[in-house]
Amino acid sequence: MSSLPSIAFIGTGVMGRSMAAHLQRAGHPLHVYNRTRAKAQALIDAGATWHDSAGSAAAAADVVITILGFPTDVEQTYFGPGGVIERARPGALLIDMTTSSPVLARRIAAAAKGKGLAALDAPVSGGDLGAKEARLVIMVGGEEADFARAKPVFDLMGKNIARLGPAGAGQHCKVANQIAVAVAMISWVEALAYASKAGLDPTQVHASISGGAAGGWAMTNLAPRALSGNFAPGFYVKHILKDMRIALDSAAEMKLDLPGLALAKQLYDRVAAAGWEECGTQALYKLYVSL
């Protein structure tokens, strides 16, 4: 029997299934729940215990990790009848790794404390590749002691791991990350759309400029996918739109004007309206080449 803490992993989609697999391979007893069981099947085949609800999984584990689609999913999973807050073991550590609202993160932390639980908000960056290669950036909000308790688990999934402050701080850091991501997407898309319109081979242009000052993660990893016609999701358009809504709402609360982000949101609204909401974020390139 493993001496490592048992983990409930709730949300085994594009990111979650790889993250959970790292924990499983390290020897943590794993309990899983996902709305679509098929997405957890590989973990089940490798020995994870399937549960029919998030609350049931939470009741069986020392640590509960969630990585879901939208803040509404997080709220339902934690606060719904028979949910995580209600059914988690006394003393359990709850870790929400969804990109969600800082306000909701603080609410979860307060509810957890009231039930004798601990909670961290720990959204991640790095996409599907970062999840597969266990080199995610993990941005954490919560108490120092709870972060120390979670650190060995985080180390199995990421490389750049930091506590930014109290509850909600991880989500605020992720909002800042997503602002940078969304605005940077416009830069490489417009650069390569310009090159193509000028009669150049955008693949050659990409090879010339990606290693210099124009380079960056998206230029290196997403531009080649777009140029090859691969618009499969590493990170969904529908999710970057969700993140931008959170960012714009949070900025409005702070009376901060973010015109670059507002433009990115308008462009991605057009991508979604074109029917590409289930594509990866590199689908922004399709908007330009189809003009």
pLDDT of residue 127: 83
DSSP assignment of 245-282 equals HHHHHHHHHTT---HHHHHHHHHHHHHHHTT-TTSBGG
Determine which helix (DSSP H) or strand (DSSP E) holds 82, and give its type and residue range.
none
Note the pTM of the prediction, 2 decimals: 0.90
pLDDT of residue 290: 79
Determine which helix (DSSP H) or strand (DSSP E) holds 209, and give its type and residue range.
helix 202-209
Note if 113 is an active site residue. Answer: no
pLDDT of residue 59: 98
* Residues 6+ positions from 245 with CB-CB distance below 8 Å: 265
Asked whether the CA dihedral 133, 139, 140, 144 is positive or negative, the reply is positive
- In the chain, what are the domains? 7-166 (3.40.50.720), 172-289 (1.10.1040.10)
Reported as a single tens digit per residue, the pLDDT across 100-149 is 999 999 999 999 999 999 999 999 998 888 999 999 999 999 999 999 99
pLDDT of residue 3: 87
Residue 168 is classified by DSSP as: T
Please give the structure tokens belonging to residue 215. Answer: 């380079």
Give the HSE-up count for residue 6: Cα atoms under 13 Å, Cβ half-sphere.
Answer: 19
DSSP assignment of 2-69 equals --SPPEEEE--STTHHHHHHHHHHTT--EEEE-SSGGGGHHHHHTTPEE-SSHHHHHHT-SEEEE--S
pLDDT at 153 over 70: yes
Question: Averaged over 172-176, what is the pLDDT?
Answer: 96
Q: Which of 132, 174, 238, 265 is catalytic?
A: 174
What radius of gyration do the chain's Cα atoms show? 20
**How far is 14 from 11, CA to CA, in rounded Å?**
9
pLDDT at 195 over 70: yes
Question: In terms of DSSP bridges, do strands 124-125 and 136-141 run parallel, antiparallel, or are they unpaired?
Answer: antiparallel
Please give the structure tokens belonging to residue 154. Answer: 């985080």
Asked whether the CA dihedral 100, 105, 107, 109 is positive or negative, the reply is positive
pLDDT of residue 1: 59
Question: Averaged over 91-99, what is the pLDDT?
Answer: 97
Reported as a single tens digit per residue, the pLDDT across 218-276 is 999 999 999 999 999 988 999 999 999 999 999 999 999 999 999 999 999 999 999 99
Please give the structure tokens belonging to residue 18. Answer: 């790889």
- pLDDT, mean over the chain: 96
Taking the C-alpha atoms of 217, 133, 127 and 15 in order, what is their torsion angle to the nearest 10 degrees?
180
